[in-house]
Amino acid sequence: MKTVLIKGPVLLEIKGECNILGVKCKNERIGWESSRVIPVEKNNNSTLSIIRGRNWNHHNPETNEHHKNFGISIWKDLVRNVLKQEKKRIIIIGPSNSGKSTLSLYMANVFISHGLRPLLIDADVGQGDLAPPTCLGAAVMNFPEVDLWKVKTNCTNFIGGIQPVGYESKIISNIRRQLDTSLKHDLSIINTDGYIKGNGLIHKIDLLKKIQPDYIIYLGGPNMDRNLLELFSHLPTNLKMNFMYGERQGVVNNRSLTERYAKRIKTFCKFLTKDKVVNMKLDLSRINYIYYRNRFFSEIKCLKGYESSYAMNEKILYVPDNEFLKNRFVGFGNKIDNGLICGFGSIDDFVKGVLAVKANVKEFDTIFLSDTKLDII
């Protein structure tokens, strides 16, 4: 058995049998759209051909003394131990590029192969796959998959930023909402962002207290950050959570800043395909609410130079000029759904109370403004 590390985006032709993230593949073409490096386990008599994409690196576990850092073999016992338990609310924590997304998908595929329906929550607002950046996505998986891009999202919640800083409480409340409102599922897997240093540690502890998972999987091994261990030790003793340590994927998922940027742009484009977007002009009188940075407003006005702060209305979102809104990525939904998104788009212009927008949905009463402009990401 050889482990072949293949970096996407790629389309493979498989002759013979292979195993990709717990998915058995035989004599077929298969691929993934992300730039992640995915371990492919192939039999000695199987062959792989790249139809579209990059080259690969071979890794033979029988001859490489560091083989434990590669492939899904480093997680098989971990996933097997979780599978044995009755309660299964799992949260995966670790630094960026540690393999959290890869482990999440592999774990979901294993559970599906045992007849279970996993709910996968993608809580990385900057590098997620199930929702555009600035949002959280959740999906109940019924079939195994090697690429999350092909999984249909069941629930999308708007956060507002591509970094969790300033949105920690919003992220936690929406994860809880996704756990409570998603379709019927047998277990849940929560994949988190890599924000674990400084205030990120405090955020993760708050998340654990409020989510109360049955299992906390930390990718990095037992020699994890000392501060993180100390904070974990201060969790309430009545919370019965099991800690499990998993090996990082080593260099497998070390994506550069350029690749992470490109992935973010690609994800935006995925949810804003031109063939589904229409140009609309919206008189704000037909919009009940405008959400921005954790607050709901009823109106938008450009701030005139002579207006003083004490004259401002807290229900009005004051912006310096119409350029402030141009090219801003937005979500569309209904306030009654408290952040549940039914569509996406961007703002072209704002003149005399009228918004010119690109949108892939027509029915909504709330516009969710993000911090992100699509021209300067």
Q: Pick from 314, 311, 372: which is nearest to 134 by CA?
A: 372
Residue in the structure block whose two tokens are 């998104």: 341
Cα–Cα distance measured from residue 118 to residue 189, given in angstroms and rounded to the nearest whole number = 7
CB 39 within 8 A of CB 247: no
How much is the pLDDT for 110? Answer: 95
Instruction: List the structure tokens of 356.
Output: 């010119």
d(C-alpha 162, C-alpha 133), whole Å: 6
Q: What is the pLDDT of residue 254?
A: 64
* Beta strand spans in 21-97 (E): 23-32, 37-42, 47-52, 56-59, 89-93
38-67 core/surface letters (b: 16 or more CB in 10 A; e: else): bbbbbeeebebeeeeeeebeebebeeeeee
What does pTM read for this prediction?
A: 0.90
For helices 168-181 and 199-211, give the axis angle rounded to 10 degrees: 20
pLDDT at 69: 56
Burial environment of residue 285 by CB neighbours within 10 A (0 to 12, 13 to 18, 19 or more): exposed
Nearest to 93 by CA among 208, 171, 214: 208
- What was the pLDDT predicted at 63? 36
DSSP conformational letter for 316: E
Structure tokens at 53: 């994409």
Tokens of 213: 């998972």
Which pLDDT value is given to residue 274? 66
Q: What is the model's pLDDT at position 198?
A: 83
> How many other C-beta atoms can be found within 10 angstroms of the C-beta atom of residue 376?
6
Instruction: Specify the long-range contacts of residues 119-122, CB closer than 8 Å, at least 24 apart.
Output: 119/178, 119/179, 119/182, 119/183, 119/185, 119/187, 119/188, 119/189, 120/148, 120/151, 120/188, 120/189, 120/191, 121/175, 121/178, 121/179, 121/188, 121/189, 121/190, 121/191, 122/148, 122/191
| CATH of the domain spanning 273-373 | 2.40.30
The per-residue pLDDT string of the chain (377 residues; one tens digit each, 9 = 90 and over) reads 788 888 888 999 999 999 999 999 999 999 988 878 888 998 889 998 888 876 555 544 433 334 445 678 888 889 998 988 887 899 999 888 888 999 999 999 999 999 999 999 999 999 899 999 999 999 999 999 999 888 999 999 999 999 999 999 999 999 999 998 777 899 999 999 988 888 888 899 899 999 999 999 988 766 666 666 777 777 777 777 888 888 777 555 566 778 788 888 888 988 887 667 889 999 888 899 999 999 999 989 887 755 555 556 788 998 988 899 999 999 999 887 767 899 999 999 998 889 999 999 988 999 999 999 987 54
pLDDT at residue number 55: 57
Measured CA to CA, the distance from residue 241 to residue 232 in angstroms comes to 10
Residue 366's pLDDT is what? Answer: 94
Q: Enter the tokens of residue 89.
A: 């609310």
Q: What share of the chain is helix, strand, coil (3-state, %, to 5)?
A: 25, 35, 40
Amino acid (1-letter code) at residue 233 = S
Check: CB of residue 36 under 8 Å from CB of residue 8.
Answer: yes
CATH code: domain 72-269 is: 3.40.50.300
Within this chain, domains 72-269 and 273-373 share the same CATH topology = no
Domain ranges of the chain: 2-67, 72-269, 273-373
Beta strand 135-140 with 37-42: parallel, antiparallel or unpaired? Answer: unpaired
Check: CB of residue 54 under 8 Å from CB of residue 10.
yes
